[in-house]
C-alpha cells in the first residue's frame, strides 16, 4: 500500500516538472520567434542589432533543445508550440508596425517586454520545490543567460531614445 502512495507522489512530482519544462519550452519558442520577427522589422543598416537578435533567438533554440532533453529523459514528449500570450504579443507588434510604430525604439521596447516575460517565467519555475537538482541547475544556467540578454536589450533601448 505504501509503495503505491510513493509511486503516485513521484508521478505527481514528475508531472509538475514536465509541466514546468514544457511551459519554458513554449516561452522560449515565443522568444525565438519574437526576435526573428524583430530581425525582419528593423532596417538593414542596423546590422549589429540584427546580429544580437539572432544570438538571442539562437540562445532560446539552445534552451529549447536542453529543456526538451530533460523532458525526454523523464519519458515524456516535449511541447513544440507557443503560448497564447506570445502569439498575441507578436500580433500586437504587427498591428503597431502597421500604424507607424515600427521605429527602432518601439521594436526594442517590445523586445524588452518579451524579455521581462521570459525572466518572470524562469523566476516562477525556479520557485517550484519538486524540480530536482539536475533540472534546477539547467534552469539557473539558462536564467543567467536570459538575464544578460535582457540587460543588453534594455541598454539598447535606452540608447535608442
Per-residue confidence of the chain (161 residues) as pLDDT tens digits?
A: 444 444 444 455 788 899 999 999 999 998 998 899 888 888 888 888 999 999 999 999 999 999 999 999 988 888 876 655 555 555 555 545 544 455 788 888 888 988 999 999 999 999 998 899 999 999 999 999 999 999 999 999 999 87
Spatial CB neighbours of 59, under 8 Å, sequence gap ≥ 6: 145, 146, 149
Residue 13's Cα: distance from chain center in Å?
A: 23
pLDDT, tens only, 94-129: 545 544 455 788 888 888 988 999 999 999 999 998
Exposed (0-12), middle (13-18) or buried (19+): which is 46, by Cβ within 10 Å? middle
CA angle 67, 73, 79 (to 5 degrees): 45
Amino acid at each position: 500500500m505504501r509503495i503505491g502512495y510513493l509511486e503516485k507522489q513521484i508521478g505527481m512530482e514528475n508531472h509538475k516538472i514536465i509541466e514546468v519544462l514544457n511551459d519554458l519550452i513554449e516561452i522560449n519558442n515565443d522568444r525565438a520567434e519574437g526576435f526573428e520577427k524583430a530581425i525582419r522589422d528593423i532596417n538593414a543598416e542596423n546590422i549589429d542589432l540584427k546580429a544580437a537578435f539572432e544570438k538571442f533567438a539562437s540562445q532560446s533554440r539552445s534552451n529549447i533543445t536542453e529543456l526538451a532533453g530533460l523532458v525526454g529523459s523523464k519519458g515524456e514528449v516535449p511541447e513544440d508550440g507557443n503560448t497564447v500570450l506570445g502569439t498575441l504579443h507578436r500580433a500586437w507588434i504587427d498591428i503597431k508596425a502597421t500604424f507607424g510604430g515600427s521605429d527602432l525604439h518601439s521594436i526594442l521596447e517590445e523586445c524588452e517586454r518579451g524579455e521581462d516575460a521570459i525572466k518572470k517565467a524562469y523566476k516562477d519555475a525556479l520557485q517550484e520545490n519538486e524540480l530536482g537538482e539536475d533540472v534546477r541547475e539547467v534552469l539557473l544556467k539558462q536564467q543567467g543567460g536570459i538575464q544578460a540578454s535582457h540587460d543588453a536589450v534594455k541598454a539598447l533601448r535606452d540608447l535608442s531614445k
